[in-house]
Structure 1
């Protein structure tokens, strides 16, 4: 297994499925600030260390040269007491671990502290005047590191001896550690400040994104009322404005669809809205058509005011619409006092004839119940005669290019309309084709109505009257009525 394959699997396992942008921004900003501050801290610490080293070297060189200058006369005069006093005073100073005056042969005249070996001193009198040596410390695990500075004492160009001062290098190391500590604390402080700032900035930057997610979720659930109120002058502002325009457009579209569905059956509205409707979309389909006409409508319309007639029609038609919908059909149109309903369109439904006949029987059943309730209140009532026919229909968009209507037409539609006209008040007539499709249903009663010649035709057809058998199958009637009637409506 390659290293990159292993790294990829490791990343997939430990990377969360959802990593918010605010956290990503905070992580990136924190890493950038941390990297920058750590790099800056290292550079500062290194510079400070070099500066301390140079300061120590300069101080050592200056101190040993002063000792060499002062010790010239006592060396010439062989005044060891004065030299010892000088060395003892130097030894008392902070950081001084060794001090000595040597003869020109590198032999010690006076000395104090942790001095280097004689061979080391002789070696450096010939090479360089600054060197480092170690001596055992109080703690054997931590030896003393001494920085020695050696300076010749010259009189008229002749070397008469050497002065040496040894400084404790741990002072520099301690200063270095203090520098690293200070820089580290400052770096940590700024990293924390940067992290908090980046988290706050990330949340602020992602706030509109979270709002977009919220509104998008609401839109996906069909709620188009949300709008962005805040104004921004960046790309997020443009996106929010575009979201507002989109939501407004969807809201208007929903309003149009709802309004459209009040004039066209929802299933037809969905079918029409799928594509641009054309007359070429028409196709033949086997379905059933129901016509329900009001008995004596012309006389009724002349006897009561138009607004009262409108209220009366709307009450009955609302029940009929609910029954048609319950029986999986849809109302194609209202033709004055007539309701035209279709079953098995636009998608073929094998039980279209059953649904159409059950719908017709339920309409007559419910109208009888409704009329009974209205008569008790002294209100006007309506009676319906219904015709149902099944067969091959032409279904599609009919009309002009700029104004079309999705409907069905053909000889079978005309037959259903004629059957409705031939039926008596409160009666439902079926064609032979419809009767053959539903005669096996146990909750319907049929009666041969005989052959009749429909208006506008010369050939007689066989017809059947149908109604619900509530006693034989009351469960079906009750189930359907429970779907249609609320507690406030007649039962």
Structure 2
């Protein structure tokens, strides 16, 4: 940008200086031509006045003296006196070949012509022809020859001076305009760098410049915009911790209408509840209870994300996970069961560590169910939450309540749809409150060979996450 500004400013100056130079040069040429014409006319008229009487008296000696004296003038290259019929009476220096018509004019005539100088070079000359009259009678004519090359030389010198001045001014102006352009474009360069930083996600970028001009207002506006983007990003991050990312994206994409459309969907719900949590919490400090829940809920959230699910909510010591909501997932039922098995296996490993540390184990009861449910808003206009409701959701919660510690139970229809991808044992038919017929349940022990490799991969991922969290705790305690 600085180069463009400098180039534009230099071009404008060059055009301006060139135009000014042409005007000055033309005026200078006109002035020199006028001076030459005035000098030639004056000298011709003076000679005509002095020669008129000697022409009539045919005083050749006087006429010769007149032309000889003029020939000694440095600016006059030739002088001649002619009779009324054009016959030369006296002359000296360089004279043109004149036609008879040139002697018939009653005024001074300028006659340009070319002649050879002493070195044989061509030279532009100009002769002034004036009538010599005595008492109103034309006695003859006089001729004065001047060099037009002097005029040309003066014009050339003036033109060269203008050219050199233009070049010098152009050079100085180019340097000055580049320096000025750099100063003008530097704040814009800072703004561009700050904009690029914002584009890279560095929302803490600010332009620390104080100016009392338009750029100052622009910088202030940019800083306000960056602060607003940072605040918005922080709100989005915090908001995404309270609702699923898909729901957060939908709400933030349409802030004018935050109510999401209620719609029936086919999805799977998983409830994971800590067995005996009430008795366990009575033996722990409130801070320990909070730390324990946060730790295990964090593991559950990671396991849910690995299988494409979302955390719907945490209800005390129970976590509600939904699969197949927000993003299309045709295999949501298997992903939910895989997530339940993963949670139980991770909890078993963590219990071994807790036992080694002399801490009581944490055991989960998990109930999973698939079916049609309504996804939408619950609550009032002042406070609402996006969740799923319906008979399938209620049944999943009932199954969780019926499960034993370390168990993952599902109903018969879900078991049949996932065969042979899971390893499950048939349980008893249980009476569910609100259901007219008993529900046949199955206990999921593991995944079949097809899903075990992915299960081990996810378990390793969770192990690494647990180790990272433990290292952070150790550093914090240290």
TM-score by length of 2: 0.86
Identify the match of residue 265 of structure 1 among 224, 240, 244.
244
Q: Structure 1 residues 141, 397: closer, same or farther in 2, change over 3 A?
A: farther
Measured after TM superposition, the shift of residue 305 of structure 1 is: 1.4
Range with greater deviation from structure 2 (458-467 or 152-161): 152-161
* C-alpha contact (below 8 Å) 1:152/1:161 kept by paired residues: yes
Alignment match, 1:445:
423
Identify the match of residue 345 of structure 1 among 300, 314, 325.
325
Alignment match, 2:453:
475
Q: Structure 1 residues 434, 273: closer, same or farther in 2, change over 3 A?
A: farther
Range with greater deviation from structure 2 (110-119 or 390-399): 110-119
Alignment match, 1:63:
43
Note if 1:90 corresponds to 2:90.
no
Note if 1:114 corresponds to 2:131.
no
Measured after TM superposition, the shift of residue 43 of structure 1 is: 2.1
SS in 2 for 1:116: coil
Measured after TM superposition, the shift of residue 253 of structure 1 is: 1.1
What are the within-5 Å matches in structure 2 for residues 42-441 of structure 1?
42-68=22-48, 78=59, 80=61, 84=64, 87-103=67-83, 105-117=85-97, 119-120=99-100, 123-124=102-103, 126-137=105-116, 143-151=122-130, 162-275=141-254, 281-441=261-421
Describe the superposition over 1:134-185 as per-residue Cα deviations: whole angstroms up to 9, x where unpaired: 3542599964432222445566666665443211111112222222222233
Q: Structure 1 residues 118, 470: closer, same or farther in 2, change over 3 A?
A: closer
Q: Work out the CA distance in 2 between the residues paired with 1:247 and 1:359.
A: 40
Measured after TM superposition, the shift of residue 288 of structure 1 is: 0.7
Q: Structure 1 residues 483, 91: closer, same or farther in 2, change over 3 A?
A: farther
Measured after TM superposition, the shift of residue 352 of structure 1 is: 0.8
Q: Work out the CA distance in 2 between the residues paired with 1:27 and 1:379.
A: 77
Q: Work out the CA distance in 1 between the residues paired with 2:267 and 2:306.
A: 17
SS in 2 for 1:485: helix
Q: Structure 1 residues 472, 133: closer, same or farther in 2, change over 3 A?
A: closer
Alignment match, 1:8:
none
Measured after TM superposition, the shift of residue 353 of structure 1 is: 0.5
SS in 2 for 1:486: helix
Q: Structure 1 residues 152, 394: closer, same or farther in 2, change over 3 A?
A: closer
Q: Identify unmatched segments of 5+ residues in structure 2.
A: 471-478
Describe the superposition over 1:31-81 as per-residue Cα deviations: whole angstroms up to 9, x where unpaired: 44333333322222222111111111221233334445666787769363x
* C-alpha contact (below 8 Å) 1:326/1:483 kept by paired residues: no
Q: Work out the CA distance in 1 between the residues paired with 2:253 and 2:128.
A: 97
Q: Structure 1 residues 105, 411: closer, same or farther in 2, change over 3 A?
A: closer
Q: How many residues align?
A: 466
Describe the superposition over 1:402-427 as per-residue Cα deviations: whole angstroms up to 9, x where unpaired: 10011111111121111111111111
* C-alpha contact (below 8 Å) 2:86/2:103 kept by paired residues: no
Alignment match, 2:473:
none
Describe the superposition over 1:195-240 as per-residue Cα deviations: whole angstroms up to 9, x where unpaired: 4444444444444444444444333443322223334455444444
* C-alpha contact (below 8 Å) 1:470/1:477 kept by paired residues: no
Measured after TM superposition, the shift of residue 449 of structure 1 is: 1.2
SS in 1 for 2:90: strand
Q: Work out the CA distance in 2 between the residues paired with 1:74 and 1:157.
A: 15
